[in-house]
Chains A and B, each alone.
Chain A
Amino acid sequence: MELWNHCENPYPFVPNEVLEQAPSVRASLPNKYCDPKIAARLYDEVFDEYRLCDDLGLHIVTNEHHSGINNLWAASPVITGIVARLTRKVRILSLGTLITVRPDPVRVAEEYATIDVLSRGRLEIGFVKSGATEMVSGDANPMRIREREWEAIDLIEKTLTTHDGPFSWEGKFFIHPHVNIWPRPYQQPRPEFWAATSDFPTCAELGRRGIVNTLLFGGYDRTRQAFDAYKKARAEAGLPAPGEDRFSSMAFAYVGDTDEEGLRIGQKIAWFLTVSIKSAPQFSKFQPGAVAPEMAPKAWRGGASKRPSNLDAEVLIGQGQMFAGNPDTVAKQITEFRRRVGGIRHIIMMTRQGLVTHEEAEKSFTRAAREVLPQLQDLPPIDDEETAWEARRARS
């Protein structure tokens, strides 16, 4: 198995009374509350963490969000390009640029090709559907974003893999009559593609295309079902069964000296699920396209938040959404997760999140790389029939 480090680079320094009064901490919170001197320190700290990960053998994930306290990575290609030059060994996954917000996927492909060359072939390209406040801060129509995402992926793929001069693209959402990027990517035919989704039809399409499927806090059940949809779609299309390298999951993670420390610091991560996702209803449940119309009564009455109802670290661990404890405990949790979801290669650890400090994060990374990762190598094959039966029993 492989471990990846993902940090949203949040900004947890806005006074609580401001956050409590603000209807939304994304899209509309004035940037007067962002002190650029603090932001500069945060960038330094997280880039230092990435250098440490490079030394330790933990791969790196970048992403982007806009106009909010949850994330200071304003443009994934910018940040990923910096990481490419700060590191030498590990792989770098951009998960990802908000391609449903960017007007020209060709530019995105060109930026990624540049990073792939800069990093001498260490780039992996991830796609996210996005939505909610991102549609507002990027002024992108929130309707039909999944269709727009697929067309953008198709255009980016063709852009990265066409080397014989300009081609023309006249699609439903994107038009570019003269596509011919320089440089072309370092990896041939192109860097690996990933996509973050737990939507089963989308997982099935990822399966048919062989794109790595990652879930974000999917937990045991949803992750298992998503991967099953991926595998089933491949089988039905007559394609070979996917290896575990096609599967990934992002979870909160903290590796401490002791279980007590792991849980105590792991609990700090709850900030991500409480304060940093506060969003006004017009940017969330009432945004057009947020839910299918027939689901509106449930979403509008109950709220559209995907936030778990119980944020206790031990509950999150029990659901497969957090790995926390001492190194042996975390290794056991991840091994069990792999077994219960039917096989998985990539675990993306969200560690430096919420109120977790730089020092705490570096300690966890060191423990994860030196004491957890070795225990995740040469694991026995998964007995798919046995774990499938267990999953069905757990759901019933």
Chain B
Amino acid sequence: MGSAAGAVVTSVPDAASTVPHRLHAGPLELEVLRRGLRREAGTLLLVHGINPIPPRAPFLNLLARHGEIVAPSHPGFGNSPRPADFDTMYDLVHLYLSVLDALPGGRVTMVGFSFGGWIAAEVAVIGHRKLDRLVLVDPVGVKLGGREERDIVHFFNTAPEELNRRAWRDPARRPSGIYGLGWHAAVDEAMPDADMIALARNWDALCLYAWRPHMYNPQLKGWLHRIAVPTLVVWGESDRIVTPDYGRAYSALIPGARFETIAEAGHHPELEQPHAFADCLARFLDGRGQQGQPR
């Protein structure tokens, strides 16, 4: 099917399929996970964090009741190729503006997780005619504390066990085969080679985009006031990668944003508490969670 700005979405969406589709955005071709057929309800563009959205994650089918899910893998992640000079947040932001161009329909909710929350916030600051609502889930991306305060635990320099402990309310509840921060702690003889290769590729790409400054854009804080769509900021109550206090301060910089926490969840509430997470988003998407402030 054709779409604007020379971008084309290929493949027909399949309600239950876990088979990756491809999405053309400008000159780039991305692997994309699609779920749900309720296009009339709008599109939920999921912008993943440290790893692409796992097709088996239970929250996907719960969210698919509220719109058609489109979840691309960023260049260098999953099976999306990364062009040689594509290596900055600037590139990712303009890529996702192209993805918005490419999506059919006129109402898109961007849902950004962790690192993907940073991308989504940047895109929302620029704005796009199709961007209807914004959801940020434990996002990184801004520097809020003083120069000797670390807002965001260093993803790459922190011991795997420590990352695991900080990222999950209960690391033992991490679903098998689904990897969040601290995935290194799950590396053992039983882990399939394909999982290791995928995790290594994702980790490399993440580092390329976000090593320094680590996981934030020093200028973003000053422009969050330009976000002009209804925004929900969701936080795992036990997230110790980026704390709920950081989340509240982040949220307060976005006009009219609503802040909600998910109990008994860490940095990945969508993985650790899929039902509570989906319910939280449903309230917002159904219009019951908005503050209704003038914009």
Contacts and interface: CB of A to CB of B under 8 A. Distances in A.
Q: Do A and B bind each other?
A: yes
B212 A289 contact: no
A293 B207 contact: no
A139 B210 CA distance: 12
A300 B184 CA distance: 9
Interface string A269-305: 0000000000011110011110101101100110000
B131 to A, nearest CB: 31
A350 interface: no
Looking at chain A, what size class is its interface with the partner chain? 20 to 34
B160 A141 contact: no
Given A23-B159, A282-B156, A297-B193, A141 B204 contact: no
**What is the interface of chain B mostly: helix, strand, loop, or mixed?**
helix
Contacts of B90: none
Contacts of A286: 160, 184, 203
Interface in A129-188: 136, 139, 141-144, 172
Given A23-B159, A136-B157, A286-B184, A297 B196 contact: yes
Given A142-B211, A288-B207, A280 B159 contact: yes
A293 B200 contact: yes
B268 to A, nearest CB: 19
Interface residues of B, number: 23
A133 B163 CA distance: 18
Contacts, number: 58
Contact of A297 (B184, B197, B212): B197
B157 A143 contact: no
A283 B157 contact: yes
A293 B159 contact: no
A282 B204 contact: no
B199 interface: yes
A296 B189 CA distance: 12
Interface of B: 85, 156-160, 184, 187, 189, 193, 196-201, 203-204, 206-208, 211-212
Given A288-B206, A293-B204, 13 more contacts: A142-B211, A143-B211, A281-B159, A281-B160, A281-B184, A282-B158, A286-B160, A288-B156, A288-B208, A293-B198, A296-B196, A296-B199, A300-B196
